[in-house]
Amino acid sequence: MNHATEDRAPADRLPDDDVIAILLEQHARVRELFGAVLGAEDETDKRRLFHELRATLAVHEAGEEMVLRRASCKCVGSDVTEARNEEEEHITRALADLEVFDVSRLEFDPALRRLERMVSHHAEMEEREEFPQVLEGCTPEQRRHMGHRLRTVEKFAPTRPHPGVVGSAASQWMIGPFASLLDRVKDAMEGLGRA
């Protein structure tokens, strides 16, 4: 069994629209993207894959803060959720710092590996401390409702790191949609430059 299959196995045991299944699937995709970026030999492919990784991480973290943390706070307490939000803040700052490097710079891969370790630790903590408690403390219907909310939030979540917004669901709700609009314009402009 390969890593992607192993990573997706817990999600496969849940309904597709369950918030935990969605988040586990996203964790698996993020792990794949880190490997793909680090393994890419073509600079254009590496840049494209990094942009996908950056957007996936930004959208994922915003979704967790806006949808999951409220439920997980009730299930596991504020100490755990504050620790996860703090990790997300560090990840967002590291991602913002990494974004200034071109993928061809020597500093890029070591910085990406540091980010990968941070993200991996964060995901492991969520999967060990947070997700099981949400599975136990929320009904399947509540988790499906959160899954639908998560999918909706993802449509207007920022696709780039915004360190000033991370860690606060209120900030994500107030500033996130505006940041997302700017991010998506930047994303489109970058896409035009590559065309």
Chain mean pLDDT for the chain: 84
Q: What is the dihedral of CA 25, 111, 82, 27, to 10 degrees?
A: 0
- Which pLDDT tens digit goes with each residue over 178-188? 455 555 555 66
Spell out the residues 6+ positions from residue 79 whose beta carbon is closer than 8 angstroms to its own: none
Q: What is the number of alpha carbons within 13 Å of residue 176 lying toward its C-beta? A: 24
- Which pLDDT tens digit goes with each residue over 30-59? 999 999 999 999 999 999 999 999 999 998
Spatial distance between the Cα atoms of 149 and 143, rounded to a whole number of angstroms: 10
Closest CA to 88 of 72, 101, 104, 74: 72
- Which pLDDT tens digit goes with each residue over 105-147? 999 999 999 999 999 999 999 999 999 999 999 999 999 999 9
The answer to which of 50-54, 167-171, 189-193 has the lowest mean pLDDT is 167-171
Q: What is the pLDDT of residue 15?
A: 84
Spatial distance between the Cα atoms of 157 and 159, rounded to a whole number of angstroms: 6
Predicted model pTM = 0.83
Query: Which of the given ranges, 1-15, 95-109, 160-174, has the highest pLDDT on average?
Result: 95-109
